[in-house]
Chains A and B, each alone.
Chain A
């Protein structure tokens, strides 16, 4: 199993709907989870991060953790065309103190 896995997409979501992005991880001891947004030709931009002690909501974005099933989700409410980008999930690997990135999910918001 890869350490951090994401569906590469593209995930197409109508404007105004909820976009749901998922990321699974292999290290049961992982404690920190990060979501980055990367527009084409640009560098990754941190959107949210959560620790293993709970979910977080920030504006239209919500990050949720399911420790039992070892996945983390990013929900984007009221999706806008400007949300169209690749979303990278990153997870700390507790066993060797590294952050590992997934390949990213391409999100396309349909106007």
Chain B
């Protein structure tokens, strides 16, 4: 149990589908993150929310749409994805104050495959 729960663990979808990834943290943190991890590449930061406000959008294509209704929940809405979007999507959380100096705690990730 990592304190950060992601669902689903695996997702296979066609390029025209719409799906959502969910993340929930039980650590009392105020910052939440979405990362993409592809084979042989470093973790790519996608979005950051700090106290429910989006503070970072790392030039992510608009086919990825984040939503943070409260400090404990984070969603990533997916639509018309491309095959190169197949990857492990990781959610993380940390203390919000001075977030870049705080350790991040990761969920188990969603393995996404685009057909």
Contacts and interface: CB of A to CB of B under 8 A. Distances in A.
B103 interface: yes
B108 A42 contact: yes
Interface in A62-104: 88, 90, 92-94, 97-99, 101-104
Given A43-B2, A103-B42, A104-B42, A93 B100 contact: yes
A86 to B, nearest CB: 11
A101 B42 contact: yes
Given A43-B2, A43-B90, A44-B90, A99 B104 contact: yes
Given A88-B43, A98-B56, A101-B42, A34 B109 contact: no
A44 B105 CA distance: 8
A110 interface: no
Interface of A is mostly: strand
Given A43-B107, A43-B108, A51 B42 contact: no
12 contacts: A4-B42, A32-B101, A43-B109, A45-B106, A46-B104, A92-B101, A97-B99, A98-B56, A98-B100, A99-B104, A101-B42, A103-B40
Interface of B: 2, 40-43, 45, 56, 88, 90, 99-109
A20 interface: no
B90 A101 contact: no
Nearest to A45: B106
Given A34-B104, A43-B2, 6 more contacts: A32-B102, A43-B109, A92-B100, A94-B100, A98-B100, A102-B42
Contacts of B101: 31-32, 51, 92
Contacts of B88: 43
A44 B100 CA distance: 17
Contacts of A34: 103-104
Contacts of B100: 32, 92-94, 97-99
